Amino acid sequence: MTLLVFSALVFGGSLLAGLLGALTGLGGGVVLVPLLTLVFHVDLRYAIGASLISVIATSSGAAAAYVRDGYSNVRIGMFLEMATTVGALCGAALATRIGTRWLAVTFGAVLLYSAYLSWRQSRRQETASHPSSPYSDRLRLSGSFPDGAGGETTYKVDRIAGGFGTMFIAGTLSGLLGIGSGAVKVLAMDRIMRIPFKVSTTTSNFMIGVTAAASAGVYLHRGYVAPGLAFPVMLGVLAGSLLGARYLVKARVSLLRTVFTWVILALGIEMIASGVRGTM
């Protein structure tokens, strides 16, 4: 296989990963890393490095639009980034010191959890209104977002300590596995801090680029970012995410979510099996 053919195939696969990630809200990294390792036989650490670069690019492009439209809560994002950035640095440092087979098993477990979240997300219902934490008022974390009818929907933030701790775990997973860990970030904001789902997903998108940038520096220093691999991956995921954001309203997201769930479920099982067999 020539370099041109390999780059074209990687670009196509990355485009599909970015498209599925944008349409399901879980990010392209959960598909991209297994795709590079299982299909293209790229070393796991180089696949993680390329994925982190693509996460930075896609987050930077989409986050600007969400902030402009008033969905992302920048104050919450910057507050929680203190936890995710420290976690990302810890995860990236750990990833260069543990074997690839254990990385594969850990990644497979995260994929299975993401499949579960993807299955649950279509059945989720918004929780009722609740009082905010006094610390939320002091930090001015509560806010509002457009309701689609020209008005604003206000919301309160609760359980800040629990959300902050979960964000450290999300950052560690991001640095360790090269994913945006958007599923865990959304879990922390949506289920623990009780932030509305639209705000949780858009703020998570705003945050993952900063988290990935922190851990990408460690991978770059260790020599695990290959420009020849990272470039087509970045372009493909960016193009796929932009297409996904554009057609999100028109697409049958329920069907796409079902397909996505089964795909990452199969990838998760294969990653765990490869790690256990030691073939990664």
| % of the chain with per-residue pLDDT over 70 | 79
Q: Which helix (H) or strand (E) holds 239?
A: helix 227-247
Q: What's the domain count of the chain?
A: 1
CA distances for 77 relative to 70, 80, 208, 263, angstroms: 13, 5, 10, 30
| Residue 183, pLDDT score | 66
Report the pLDDT averaged over residues 73-79. Answer: 86
pLDDT beyond 70 at 268: yes
Determine the structural domain holding residue 228 and report its residue range.
3-277
| Residue 16, pLDDT score | 87
DSSP SS3 for 163: helix
| Residue 35, pLDDT score | 87
Residue 119 and residue 265 in contact, taking contact as beta carbons nearer than 8 Å = no
On whether the pTM is more than 0.85, the answer is no
Nearest to 179 by CA among 37, 68, 65, 41: 37
pLDDT beyond 50 at 127: no
